[in-house]
Amino acid sequence: MTTFFAPDPDLQATLEQVLEQVRAEFALTPTQIAVTWVVYDPPYIVNTGGALSADDFWQHRPQGASYRGVELIYPASVVKLFYLVAAHEWVEQGMISPSAELDRALKDMIVDSSNDATSLVVDLLSGTTSGPELPPGPFETWCYQRNIINRFFQSLPWPELVGVNMNQKPWGDGPYGRERAFVGEHYENRNRLTTDAIARLIHSIAGGVAVSAARSQTMLSLLARHQPTAPPAPGEEDQFTGFLGEGLPRGTRLYSKAGYTSKVRHDAAYFELPSGEPGLLVTFIESSVHSKNRQILPRLASLIVQHMVSP
């Protein structure tokens, strides 16, 4: 499989070294973490305001490395990145109408990671709604409609999307009714993504080629993160503290989307260091123990940046 990034042996060796250190420090097993790391050499092709056409943009392959980057993993709220891109595509193509309420839902879905807002977005994208269980015939139609998001992304010539699934709403307490039937008795139809797939999607947004240059910039602005003035309250998360952003140097411009549950802690970030050098880092952690640890992702990010500024 040819990835959007060009695998670099030196970067791969560095990533393996970093991961060995992180696993040793936090007692992570080899299968509890997955990472995709991309670096950009000048002249930078990202965050250019859409200076490159899509055809020209995809001719450039940045250097990268990954560890378990093709493993299908439950993405938690990181899947909302795909719903964001799909919503802009639907509006661009006239499949749904623009509205202030849609804009509000997209903002809350990304900025605050609201599951309620995401529920509305998924309903608009698929023409489905949650509710009681359905008879077999109507339920089959409902399932087909809900899979429209999968069909759209599978239509893209991206090998990174092989095997992914993004047809489920995120929940607090869990799905009920037709949603519970749809996810499967053993949750076999739950969302699943890879760090490579997420890295490519963020790469397209930062590159100004996700839907359009203007829409890419709108999406990127929603992903902007800033260091909070105070740490989150106990039991709360702010998508910065305890995630990749906390490990980046002050003055770094950060655009990210985190995902977390009692069993996973994920983050996907495009960033520009104070020097202006861009980078992309997607990290998944699967562990009911380590999902609560707010030190792992910042530590990983800080080690990655050390190698970027002092290769």
pLDDT in tens, 163-206: 999 999 999 999 999 999 999 999 999 999 999 999 999 999 99
Average pLDDT over residues 106-117: 97
The whole-number pLDDT of residue 281 equals 98
H-run or E-run covering 11: helix 9-26
Residue 16 and residue 67 in contact, taking contact as beta carbons nearer than 8 Å? yes
Average pLDDT over residues 135-158: 98
User: What's the number of CA atoms in the CB half-sphere (13 Å) around residue 62?
Assistant: 26
Parallel, antiparallel, or unpaired: how do β-strands 33-39 and 6-7 relate? unpaired
Can you tell me the distance from the alpha carbon of 102 to that of 104, in angstroms, rounded to the nearest whole number? 5
The whole-number pLDDT of residue 230 equals 87
Percent of the chain past pLDDT 70, that is, above it, reads: 99
The whole-number pLDDT of residue 134 equals 98
Residue 125 has pLDDT above 80, yes or no: yes
Can you tell me the distance from the alpha carbon of 290 to that of 285, in angstroms, rounded to the nearest whole number? 7
User: What's the number of CA atoms in the CB half-sphere (13 Å) around residue 141?
Assistant: 7
Average pLDDT over residues 67-77: 98
Parallel, antiparallel, or unpaired: how do β-strands 63-67 and 6-7 relate? parallel
Can you tell me the distance from the alpha carbon of 97 to that of 99, in angstroms, rounded to the nearest whole number? 6
- The pLDDT-based confidence of 244 (bands split at 50, 70, 90) is very high
**6-15, 49-58, 217-226, 268-277: range with lowest mean pLDDT:** 49-58
> Is the model's pTM score more than 0.75?
yes
Residues forming beta bridges with residue 65, ordered by sequence position = 37
The whole-number pLDDT of residue 94 equals 98
The whole-number pLDDT of residue 311 equals 56
Structure tokens belonging to residue 78 = 């990181």
Buried b / exposed e along 118-154 (16+ C-beta atoms within 10 A): bbbbbebbbebebeeebeeeeeeebbeebbbbeebbe
Only one residue has tokens 């499949």, namely 95
Residue 208 has pLDDT above 70, yes or no: yes
The whole-number pLDDT of residue 49 equals 85
